[in-house]
C-alpha cells in the first residue's frame, strides 16, 4: 500500500494546511479555496491538507481542479507536517487550532512558515458577548474560558517568534489579537481578503435605484446584526412612500425566522431563507441599488466589500474594522446597534437619490484600490516566493 504522505514529500510551491476546506458536500472557508484558485491561476503548484475534526477516515487524496486535497484525521497532523517539511515547500496555515500552532512551531523552520488569522482564532470570546445569552453563557463560561487559555497559550510564543510570518486581514484584528493574547506580534503583515471584482462587477447606480433595497446576510449569530436592519425597515414602514420600495431579504441561520417575522406582512418585502452561492450573491447585488450590511463586529467585512465592489450603495455600521474599509464617501455609516439611526440612513437615500451615482462609484473604486488582486493575492504571492527562497 502506498504511503499517502509521499506526495507531500515532493517539492511544491506551497502546502496549505486548513482546519476545514470546502469540497464535496462540505462548505465553509470559501475564502481559503479562493486563495488556492488564485495561486493556481498565477501558475503555482500546491496541495492542501485538510485536518478537519470531521475527518474520520485515514489519510486520503481527493482530486480538485486547482490543487489536490489530502484529508487527514487530526491525529495525523504531525506526520503530514513532517512530510511537507521534508519536501522543502513553503508552508501556509489558515486559522490553525492551538494544537496545530504548537505542531507547526515545533516542526517547521520559521522562515518557511506563514500563518493567517481571520478572526476567532486569537480573539477573546467576550468581544462577541452578545452572541450568547446570559443564561447560556453562565452554563458554558468554563468551556469558553478554557478555549481562551488554550488559544492564547499557543499564540503567545508564536507572536513572539520573529521568524514566522503572521498575517492578519486588518489592523484592527491585529490590535485586538495582541491585546487579547497579551503580547505584541512580531513579523506581521496586513493583507485583507481578496474581493473579486470580476465576480462582483461594478455598475454605477442611478437615481431611482435607491428604492430597490437588499438585505443579504447570515443570521447565524447576533454580531451579523441582521436584526438591526430588519427593525430599521419596520420603522421605515411608518413613513410615507415605504410602499413604493422593493425590498429583498435573503439569509439563513438560527436567528433568521424570528428576525424577519415582523416584516413578512409587507407586500413589498420578499423574504427568502437559504444559503446563497457566489453567483447568486453577485446577481442579487447587481439587481439592487442599496445593500444593507449591518454589523456589530467584523474583522474586515467581506460581504460589505463585495456589495461595494458591485457598485451598490451600502449602509453599514462604523464598528471594529469597518472604518478601515469604508467611509462616509463610500457608504452611509449610522452609529452601531441603533435601528432608528439605520432607518434614518435608509430614508436619507430615499430623499436624496442624486447621491447614488457618486457613492456607487466611490465604493467600487475604494474596494478595487484596497482589496483588489494586486493588494491581496499579489502580496500573498510575493510572500510565498519569500518563503520558498
Condensed to tens digits (0 to 9), the pLDDT of residues 227-268 reads 999 999 999 999 999 999 999 999 999 999 999 999 999 999
pLDDT at 55 over 90: no
State yes or no: pLDDT of 28 exceeds 70.
Answer: no
In the chain, how many H helices and how many E strands?
A: 14, 14
Q: Is the pLDDT of residue 1 over 60?
A: no
Residues 15, 133 within the same domain: yes
pLDDT digits (tens, 9 = 90+) for 95-105: 999 999 999 99
Residue 350 counted as domain residue:
yes
Rounded-to-integer distance, Cα 195 and Cα 358, Å: 21
Distance CA 327, CA 233 (A): 22
Q: Are residues 91 and 225 both part of a single domain?
A: no
- pLDDT for 53: 87
b vs e for 325-361, b when ≥16 Cβ sit within 10 Å of the residue's Cβ? bbeeebbbbbebbbbebbbebbbebbeebebbbebbb
Domain count, the chain: 2
DSSP readout, 276-317?
Answer: --HHHHHHHHHT-SEEEE--S--SS-HHHHHHHHTTPEEEE-
> Which of 57-71, 126-140, 240-254 has the highest mean predicted lDDT (pLDDT)?
240-254
Does 29 share its domain with 89?
A: yes
CA distance 311 to 331: 11
Q: At 367, which CATH number?
A: 3.40.50.2000
For residue 90, what is the enclosing H or E element?
strand 90-94
Domain contains 156: yes
Q: What integer best gives the mean pLDDT of the chain?
A: 95
Residue from 314, 380, 317, 389 nearest 346 by CA: 314
Residues 378 and 359 in one domain: no
Mark whether 149 and 27 lie in a shared domain.
yes
CB 55 within 8 A of CB 26: no
Cell (9 digits) for 342: 439605520
Please state, in angstroms and as integers, the Cα–Cα distance from residue 343 to each residue in 165, 168, 232, 275, following that order: 43, 33, 4, 26
Cell numbers standing for residue 336: 452601531
Residues 343, 255, 232: CA angle, nearest 5 degrees = 5
Question: Are residue 100 and residue 177 in the same domain, yes or no?
Answer: yes
Q: Is the pLDDT of residue 77 over 80?
A: yes
Residue 204 included in any domain: no
Question: Rounded to whole angstroms, how far apart are CA atoms 243 and 231?
Answer: 16
Q: Is residue 33 part of a domain?
A: yes
Residue with cell 464617501: 329
Q: What is the pLDDT of residue 138?
A: 81
- Band (pLDDT 50/70/90 cuts) for residue 197 is very high
Based on the fold, state whether residues 16 and 33 are members of the same structural domain: yes
Q: What is the pLDDT of residues 293-334, one digit of tens each?
A: 999 999 999 999 999 999 999 999 999 999 999 999 999 999
Range of the domain at 74: 6-194+374-388
Q: pLDDT value at position 93?
A: 98
> 132 pLDDT exceeds 80?
no
- Rounded CA gap, 87 and 81, in Å? 10
Check whether 62 has a pLDDT greater than 90.
no
Same domain, residue pair 33 and 179:
yes
In a domain, 336, yes or no: yes
Instruction: Tell me whether residue 14 is in a domain.
Output: yes
Q: Which has more confidence, 216 or 52?
A: 216
Q: Kindly give the pairing relationship between strand 113-117 and strand 165-168.
A: parallel
Query: Which helix or strand (DSSP H or E) is residue 251 part of?
Result: strand 246-252
Same domain, 132 and 166: yes
379 and 366 part of one domain? no
Residue 335 belongs to a domain: yes
**C-beta of residue 197 within 8 angstroms of C-beta of residue 308:** no
Q: Please answer whether residues 344 and 229 qualify as being in contact, where contact means their C-beta atoms are separated by less than 8 angstroms.
A: no
Give the least confident one: 122-136, 198-212, 239-253, 350-364.
122-136
Instruction: Please give the average per-residue pLDDT across 1-20, as a whole number.
Output: 91
Question: How many Å apart are CA 265 and CA 217, to the nearest integer?
Answer: 20
pLDDT of residue 26: 61
Q: What is the mean pLDDT of residues 178-201?
A: 97
Provide the percentage of residues in the chain whose pLDDT is more than 70: 98
Could you tell me if 144 and 78 lie in one domain? yes
Could you tell me if residue 170 is inside a domain? yes
- CA-closest candidate to residue 219, choices 312, 281, 296, 167: 296
Cα end-to-end distance, the chain, whole Å: 34
- Cβ atoms of 321 and 170 within 8 Å: the answer is yes
Whether residue 71 is found in the same domain as residue 180: yes
Amino acid at each position: 500500500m502506498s504511503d499517502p504522505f509521499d506526495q507531500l514529500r515532493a517539492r511544491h510551491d506551497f502546502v496549505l494546511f486548513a482546519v476545514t476546506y470546502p469540497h464535496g458536500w462540505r462548505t465553509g472557508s470559501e475564502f481559503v479555496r479562493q486563495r488556492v484558485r488564485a495561486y493556481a491561476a498565477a501558475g503555482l503548484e500546491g496541495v492542501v491538507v485538510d485536518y478537519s475534526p470531521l475527518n474520520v477516515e485515514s489519510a486520503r487524496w481527493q482530486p480538485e481542479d486547482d490543487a489536490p486535497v489530502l484529508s487527514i484525521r487530526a491525529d495525523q497532523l504531525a506526520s503530514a507536517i513532517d512530510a511537507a517539511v521534508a519536501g522543502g515547500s513553503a508552508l501556509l496555515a489558515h486559522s490553525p487550532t492551538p494544537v496545530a500552532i504548537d505542531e507547526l512551531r515545533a516542526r517547521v523552520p520559521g522562515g518557511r512558515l506563514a500563518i493567517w488569522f481571520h478572526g476567532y482564532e486569537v480573539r477573546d470570546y467576550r468581544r462577541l458577548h452578545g452572541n450568547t445569552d446570559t443564561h447560556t453563557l453562565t452554563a458554558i463560561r468554563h468551556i469558553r474560558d478554557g478555549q481562551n487559555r488554550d488559544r492564547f497559550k499557543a499564540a503567545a510564543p508564536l507572536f513572539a517568534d520573529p521568524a514566522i510570518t503572521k498575517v492578519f486581514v486588518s489592523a484592527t484584528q491585529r490590535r485586538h489579537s495582541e491585546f487579547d493574547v497579551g503580547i505584541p506580534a512580531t513579523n506581521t503583515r496586513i493583507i485583507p481578503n481578496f474581493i473579486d471584482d470580476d465576480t462582483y462587477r461594478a455598475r454605477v447606480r442611478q437615481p431611482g435605484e435607491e428604492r430597490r433595497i437588499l438585505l443579504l446576510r447570515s443570521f447565524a449569530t447576533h454580531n451579523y446584526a441582521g436584526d438591526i436592519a430588519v427593525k430599521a425597515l419596520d420603522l421605515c414602514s411608518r413613513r410615507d412612500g415605504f410602499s413604493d420600495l422593493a425590498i429583498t431579504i435573503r439569509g439563513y441561520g438560527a436567528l433568521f425566522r424570528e428576525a424577519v417575522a415582523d416584516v413578512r406582512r409587507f407586500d413589498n418585502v420578499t423574504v427568502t431563507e437559504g444559503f446563497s452561492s457566489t453567483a447568486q450573491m453577485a446577481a442579487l447585488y447587481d439587481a439592487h441599488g442599496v445593500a444593507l450590511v449591518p454589523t456589530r463586529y467584523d474583522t474586515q467585512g467581506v460581504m460589505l466589500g463585495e456589495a461595494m465592489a458591485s457598485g451598490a450603495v451600502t449602509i453599514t455600521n462604523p464598528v471594529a474594522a469597518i472604518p478601515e474599509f469604508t467611509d462616509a464617501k463610500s457608504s452611509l455609516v449610522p452609529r452601531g446597534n441603533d435601528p432608528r439611526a439605520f432607518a434614518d440612513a435608509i430614508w436619507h437615500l430615499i430623499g436624496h437619490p442624486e447621491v447614488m451615482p457618486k457613492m456607487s462609484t466611490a465604493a467600487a473604486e475604494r474596494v478595487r484600490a484596497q482589496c483588489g488582486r494586486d493588494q491581496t493575492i499579489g502580496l500573498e504571492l510575493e510572500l510565498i516566493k519569500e518563503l520558498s527562497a
